[in-house]
Structure 1
């Protein structure tokens, strides 16, 4: 059992059950990569708005497995963690639920976004902004870079 699993998704959009996972990354408490996979959507052939944010183009994922094929492995990783953490964890929870991984069955740690907002008077800030506040610079919206930044926080 791993102590911590830090999770992040990059997706075709923001609507769980409608939009799909394009990249999933998980690291443990030491920063070791437990999963970093790009995924081919089953229902979407283009996602221009999301592509502007995450830089993942259809040709980047055309030969990849669909996220559904990774669900059993991801569920095993997350279920085997003492704590699961994600920045703005409501987003990841909603996508997990949409893909049949019950988020309520996982042991969640505190959401770093919520913790920072509580300390700073309630204003929620992006992962990039909070990481920068603590002196950590990275290229946001790559799932692996995002989980590493979240682990740092």
Structure 2
């Protein structure tokens, strides 16, 4: 199964970007692609029998983590709402629907954190890539 990890990394993390940039997949559906990709990584983690703790998900620091995440989410939500209200951002880049913000904060961000942090780092662990410089480098590509 370890031999399939490089292919999986390419398929999950590189192929969607290549397909969107080439025009094969329309850019306007990027959030749908994100949800599909994240759903695939969740099922893959279940299939591989990864434990929650091996993915960096534990309840040990949950209360502290939630406290910081909720506080920062509220602060940034107020900041971005104020910037939008006072027209400090170009409105053509910001969706008008408040549903987008709810989707982004409560669905998109957690899915991205799982897919691009927890799951990706577990795949790197499986490949014995543990040096921080390489992990950060691969993650930033």
TM-score by length of 2: 0.29
Higher gyration radius (CA): 2
Greater strand share, structure number: 1
Structure with larger RCO (C-alpha < 8 A, sep 6+): 2
TM-score by length of 1: 0.27
